[in-house]
Structures are given as structure tokens and as C-alpha cells.
Amino acid sequence: MWSPDYFVRLVELPYSVHAVTIPNDDGSFDIYINSLLPREQQLQKLRHEIAHIQRDHFYCWDSICAIEDEANEV
């Protein structure tokens, strides 16, 4: 089973932006978690973003609603 590399960074983002994941050309991912969120929420958002990576959501054409619902199942 393929396990991609990902790099997690805590950064101050606008409060409405909880987390963002960006795929890189080398197959790795950069995950940015909002440092203004409480610690438990940061961990929840990290699990959510990792679910997107594990389920190959960056390379599928499903609806955003379906993708978000699937990632929220973690």
C-alpha cells in the first residue's frame, strides 16, 4: 500500500479557514493547520486532511459535498 509523505505546518490563517492541503509535484502533501484554533480542533482538522490524502480526493472528480462527507467520517 502506498503511503504518501505529508508535512504539517501550523500557521495563522483567517479564522474561517481551518485547514488546507496542497499536493506537491513529487507526490507529497503540505498540510496547513490554523494555529488560532484550539488544540483539539487542530487535531480534528489534521485527521480530516489526512483522510483526504488517504482517499485520493485530490485526484477524483466526485462532488465536493461527497468528498467532504467522506473525509468527515474519520
Considering only the C-alpha atoms of the chain, give the largest distance between any 2 of them, rounded to a whole number of Å: 36
Confidence of residue 56 (pLDDT cuts 50, 70, 90): confident
Q: How many CA atoms lie within 13 A of 43 on its CB side?
A: 2
Find, among 53, 63, 61, 11, the residue nearest to 29 by Cα.
53
Does residue 15 sit within a domain? yes
Going by pLDDT thresholds of 50, 70 and 90, the confidence category of residue 67 is confident
Q: Which residue has the higher pLDDT, 68 or 2?
A: 68
Q: Please report whether residue 42 resides in a domain.
A: yes
Provide the phi-psi class of 25: left if phi over 0, else alpha when psi is between -120 and 50, else beta.
Answer: alpha
pLDDT digits (tens, 9 = 90+) for 30-48: 999 999 999 999 999 999 9
- Mean pLDDT of the 45-72 span: 84
| Tally of structural domains, the chain | 1
Residue 37 counted as domain residue: yes
- Would you say residue 1 lies in a domain? no
Q: Has this prediction a pTM greater than 0.75? A: yes
* Domain span holding position 50: 6-71
